[in-house]
Chains A and B, each alone.
Chain A
Amino acid sequence: MIGYGEGSGNRVRAIFIQKPEDADRLILDDRCLQNLAVYLPKHEVRALGKPAIVARVPVLRSIQQLVYEQQLKEGDIAVIGVSDDGQVLDFPDLKSVGDFVSKIPLTLTPDEQAALKKLEAMSREERWNFWLEEMSNCIKCYACRASCPMCYCERCTVDCNQPQWISVPAHALGSLEWHIMRAMHLAGRCVNCGDCTRACPVKIPLALLNQRIIADIVDNFGEKAEYALAAFKPDDTEDFIR
């Protein structure tokens, strides 16, 4: 069972319960924000056997997305859902997880919208300088990538060097390239859990990039846009996607 337990200080942390008598260590409160879906593809976690996972809405969305992307299939995991108002949700299968979260539109909170508005109110130069300054703090620790359930690639683009798509060093250009590439790769996939921002040791507001893309998707395709790659059918008349 992957859930939350008390951590150090006033922090909470992911815990992996393997014996029924340890289940008392499980907790759930406002501090329990980490997107636990990040652990589902991990070798050592899988080695412990089929997991059950405590899943609040962002985690449920991640599970739905991982199913879309064929990283999870029925029977791989058991889901103990928790609704936004704290009710325990019983999901007999992963399809029911998808059905449930599909009914909750992925929209931005008023605070998130306000932050985006503030950015959009900037001139192009101001915005560029804002990001350059934020990115100048980036140390390329890849905590954003490691904390993200959608960054499950065994080999990330930045690790591919033939050719070297993304500059590895943590200089201004390298960091900017990295974060733009990551945001684009998450377009339509990001569930806005906020873990990238929370994980960042130098507090770069990374989620802003993804939230902007989410806002664009909502504006252009509506709140319940189907996942594009999952919507692909072999008999699609367009052949650019093949």
Chain B
Amino acid sequence: MADKKIIRKSSLGELFKKIRSDGKRILAPVDRGGKILFEYVDSPGSIAPDYIQTTLSAKDTLLPRCEEMLRFRTEQKSVYLEESLNRPEPTLIFGVRPCDARSIAVLNAVYLINYTDDIYRQKIDTTTIVGVSCAKCDEYCFCTSVGGSPGDTAGSDMLLTQMDNDIYLAEILTDKGKAIAALAPELFAEGGDVDKNKHCADVPVRFDVKDLSKRLPGVFEDPVWIAQSLRCIGCGTCSYVCPACTCFDIQDETDGNRGVRLRCWDSCGFAQFTLHTSGHNPREVQSQRWRQRIMHKFSYQPDQLDVIGCVGCGRCSRTCPVDMNILQHITDILEVH
């Protein structure tokens, strides 16, 4: 059971100070001309006051858009592997939405099961997630359809829910969460025995995800994929704003005789993604690539890893340059017979 306390909004400044002195950097949502980005902050004053969802997810910290995997030096015929500079700093990410926090289960499943990805593991081990429940949602949100909720605690080490007045309910969920509360126990008061749900947004359930997973293999050959993706322009925006998309590319870069091997985000939406050097492409057209996106998230990942590769944050729909609306598409797919 989570330890439930209350903390005043005005105490967050003090808490941030303690977290900073504890050697953690704090990432929090900051408004940059209409886009909400996770940036380093020292005080809660810099945090964006009002937003539904950050423009990019916190994935950029755990699985950065580009990060070092390996560092090397070549000298004539010899090669030396050097110590990687990709050493994570202890980080606290503040203001993660419950849907995004839930996506950590997907990242963990991909990166920690079977072969443990030590680069990712070091990051997740040194990161504390302080979630903030959603008081508002929009028509693109569908967390409740994929197992989450606006006050879902999954993935957060501590979850804050803003109550009517200047008070947050603080649910202390994990050892990392306890460690944060222990930095300033005086700021966390009793009185957390409240119903947080009335302070959370009401996100209606829009589809039955188990039914979707069950039906997807049967509609693999259906023309619905072509109809839906005719307007898809094949960019990678949906994947890159997605908190649960994990695919990557590997690129070497050199400067003189030194070099790095980098991992970079990649997307199944790109034609190049599956292109063989021979010219053969197993997914030649956009409809196949669009189908892969949906199949992977709602059929293959539940089958392989027992997770749904979508948390219903709605970013892909909000950001898509051509209004590919995932919720609408899923609803349409469920109507295929």
Contacts and interface: CB of A to CB of B under 8 A. Distances in A.
Judge A-B direct contact (beta carbons within 8 Å).
Answer: yes
A201 B319 contact: yes
Nearest to A158: B272
Contacts of A42: 230, 286
A59 B272 CA distance: 27
B230 A45 contact: yes
Nearest to A12: B323
Contact of B33 (A8, A16, A143, A203): A203
A88 B140 CA distance: 35
B56 to A, nearest CB: 7
B233 A38 contact: yes
A75 interface: no
Contacts of B239: 141
Q: Which bucket holds chain A's interface residue count?
A: 35 or more
Nearest to B264: A169
Given A11-B323, A169-B66, A201-B240, A137 B235 contact: no
A29 to B, nearest CB: 15
A158 B253 CA distance: 14
Given A141-B236, A143-B235, A147-B235, A44 B287 contact: yes
Interface in A130-147: 137, 139-143, 145-147
A168 interface: yes
Interface string B214-255: 000000000000100111011111011100000001010100
A148 to B, nearest CB: 9
B34 interface: yes
B171 to A, nearest CB: 31
Interface string B294-337: 00000000000000000000000101011101001000000000
A73 interface: no
B285 interface: yes
Interface string B23-39: 00000000011110100
Contacts of A45: 230
B95 to A, nearest CB: 18
Interface residues of B, number: 42
Tell which of A8, A9, A159, A171 has the most Cβ of chain B within 10 Å: A8
Interface in B130-183: 139-140
Given A8-B317, A203-B34, A13 B323 contact: yes
B267 interface: yes
A174 B66 contact: yes
A187 interface: no
Given A42-B286, A146-B235, A169-B66, A9 B139 contact: yes
Nearest to B249: A168
B16 interface: no
A14 B317 CA distance: 15
A195 B235 contact: no
A62 to B, nearest CB: 14
A7 B267 CA distance: 24
Nearest to A34: B322
A139 B236 CA distance: 9
A167 interface: yes
A44 B231 contact: no
A75 to B, nearest CB: 22
B235 A141 contact: yes
B233 A8 contact: no
Given A143-B321, A147-B322, A198-B321, 5 more contacts: A42-B230, A170-B265, A174-B66, A203-B34, A203-B35
18 contacts: A7-B325, A9-B140, A11-B323, A13-B323, A15-B231, A43-B285, A44-B286, A137-B35, A140-B236, A140-B265, A141-B237, A143-B233, A145-B235, A146-B233, A147-B233, A147-B235, A167-B253, A199-B235
The 4 A-B pairs at the shortest CB distance, nearest first, are namely A199-B321, A146-B235, A13-B323, A169-B66
